[in-house]
Structure 1
């Protein structure tokens, strides 16, 4: 589904219902063109569509209409995921006077250090980290008001705790720089077609990937059935080796990685990321060595 192009003559969003096949649940998939909604708008829309007090399924506006067929299967992208209790990430954040977002990026840096070839870990690697420029007066469910900061992941630092400290300092300095406000002023002058072109453009060669994050603040339900888990499938931009997304919902945090199928080793990253998060939250030694994480496959 995610690999299908968004047709210009159809709505830029869609919903798909998939049966789990075992009778124990089902999946509701929501897809939207990134130029029509950014991550904040997507989260807001889902929380409005799926309120916890909803006891019945919504009535179709066109009862005579037909459900669309299942999208054709494609094999352009792979998806891999790891989940940890949200409290595990909060514990790591409290110990380092950091944020959950800092822990997400630090665990990504630690995972990449043990995943990348040694010669790629001689200096930091850059990833694109989207951020919202939404203002209180903005309509929260429509439009793309997202900018991108380039974060230097310190894969050259062998100490996972030091990686977390470095990223926390980097993120605090960025927040104090006024970059969010400057980006918003630029976005206010851009037309939608230019936003689409920018999102389709290749990144510089030294940008390894994209690292997004989404936070769902309220419980959700579908026709009275409680939503038990939320997984984000991040957009995979041209020129990136991978894209990742942290999604927090209820008591759980999940991180997904997507990449083109010609990069199968990306499937190793979720387990490495989870190992790093648990290390940061529970190891009092605070001295990371290459033996602290699984060695990458040859």
Structure 2
């Protein structure tokens, strides 16, 4: 390509301008202003690759070349619409983070990614080349603000940067329509969402806004086997395990037992409709967490039943249409109240990464997400998967004690559920426990022509978008 050709600009004729923002994004922007740090509303998608880390210049060249095919990367919010930034240069959004402990592994990596800066007046995303946490592996970490895009929209950008183009959506377009029966169920669920939830234990005074993460890796085939044996979905299994882990954690952290509710994503995307990679594509619906520190086949079935309606296509299409018909101020008010800690204690999400991601002919061999944390919420829980690998993560305020117990209990409940369903014998070895807590180490940055791209993580880490109802 001739040197005179600029490929890091996205022109306005490459993207449909004047895309309207929805009420969810305005509420998320407001939540970010209330959060102790703006990074509490960041989602970071971590792509792991084998081999020696490339140079920062090589990564920037790659992104500069791919950016014109991902017009959402150049979008900024102006008023109530998404428009294209005339000053957007993709290379300015690519940075490098060098860690100093090659024995730290993915615990160190996740901890270092809890905090970081994103531009305020430019498209709110960034890509970090991270290495120094392990031998013969590096990470490409795509971070974006939740008000800029949710996990669904992020996947579109990640595929555009590191994957093959998505296949054409040749299904006949599906128009959102109101089904009276589904509308009654959606209205009922929305009304129930304003009932108060149990409040998480109060945080100790002080604190610097640091977050903590507890995480573990699990074989996705184990979750799939449990789901098939119980006649439920993997998302149901994850939600039930998370509920038991949170109840056990609250008991250990606070003697008062509390009834808790979680928000899970409601997929309102329509068949045959091409979605852009900017904005929030998924709605939210609130579901109760079963009360108890154990997961049985019976409680797993109850968890699946509580979210069964949301999987029906007519429910999702009706919810989409109702969201479109609701006036903007009403939608923002409803979303704001739904996400208040008085109504929702946490978010529980599922992210599945596409196959075929690669950089410079090196395939991505695993991936996981470091999620956000909404102000006042007890935690944000995610299950991310790539191929046969899955990662579960709990993120909370660093002042909350004993976060590592959530992961240990989640794993213990999975072991017990497998035994109850006859999927393993009592003699089978239990899942490995997470690594012990370690302080997040200092990080170093390499100066670049675009300035210092260093981050310093101050939270702690432990080893290993609400559950997607599809």
TM-score (ref. length: structure 2): 0.51
Are 2:317 and 1:181 aligned?
A: yes
The residue that corresponds to 2:222 in the other structure is 88
8 Å CA contact 1:110–1:160 kept in 2: the answer is no
Q: Distance in 2 between matches of 1:178 and 1:234?
A: 30
1:104 aligns with one of 228, 233, 238: 238
Are 2:296 and 1:160 aligned?
A: yes
The offset of 1:114, in angstroms, is: 2.5
| Aligned pairs (5 A) from 1:204-219 | 204-219=341-356
Are 2:413 and 1:276 aligned?
A: yes
Q: Which structure has the greater CA radius of gyration?
A: 2
The offset of 1:100, in angstroms, is: 0.5
For residues 99-124 of structure 1, what are the alpha-carbon distances to aligned partners after superposition, in whole Å with 9 as ceiling and x for unaligned? 00011011112222322226416xx4
The offset of 1:96, in angstroms, is: 0.5
Q: Distance in 1 between matches of 2:333 and 2:385?
A: 27
Change (3 A) 1:172 1:202: closer
Q: Distance in 2 between matches of 1:252 and 1:157?
A: 26
For residues 77-113 of structure 1, what are the alpha-carbon distances to aligned partners after superposition, in whole Å with 9 as ceiling and x for unaligned? 1112111111000010011001000110111122223
| Aligned pairs (5 A) from 1:1-298 | 1-4=113-116, 6-51=118-163, 76-117=210-251, 119-120=256-257, 124-135=259-270, 136-156=272-292, 158-176=294-312, 179-188=315-324, 198=335, 203-284=340-421
Q: Distance in 1 between matches of 2:289 and 2:304?
A: 11
Q: Distance in 1 between matches of 2:220 and 2:247?
A: 23
For residues 120-166 of structure 1, what are the alpha-carbon distances to aligned partners after superposition, in whole Å with 9 as ceiling and x for unaligned? 16xx4211112221223132422212211111111247552222110
SS class of match (2:140): strand
Q: Distance in 2 between matches of 1:146 and 1:203?
A: 18
Of 275-284 and 21-30, more deviation after overlay is shown by 275-284
Q: Which sections of structure 1, spanning at least 5 residues, go unmatched?
A: 54-73, 287-291
Change (3 A) 1:31 1:90: same
The offset of 1:226, in angstroms, is: 2.1
8 Å CA contact 2:148–2:280 kept in 1: the answer is yes
Q: Which sections of structure 2, spanning at least 5 residues, go unmatched?
A: 1-112, 166-207, 424-429, 434-470
SS class of match (2:250): coil
Q: Distance in 2 between matches of 1:31 and 1:141?
A: 14
Change (3 A) 1:249 1:174: same
Across the aligned residues of Structure 1 and Structure 2, the Cα RMSD in angstroms comes to 3.3
SS class of match (1:244): strand
How many residues are treated as equivalent by the alignment?
A: 266
Q: Distance in 2 between matches of 1:83 and 1:278?
A: 14
TM-score (ref. length: structure 1): 0.77
For residues 197-222 of structure 1, what are the alpha-carbon distances to aligned partners after superposition, in whole Å with 9 as ceiling and x for unaligned? 95799514252211011112323212
8 Å CA contact 2:130–2:138 kept in 1: the answer is yes
Q: Distance in 2 between matches of 1:111 and 1:47?
A: 33
Change (3 A) 1:199 1:253: farther
The offset of 1:172, in angstroms, is: 1.0
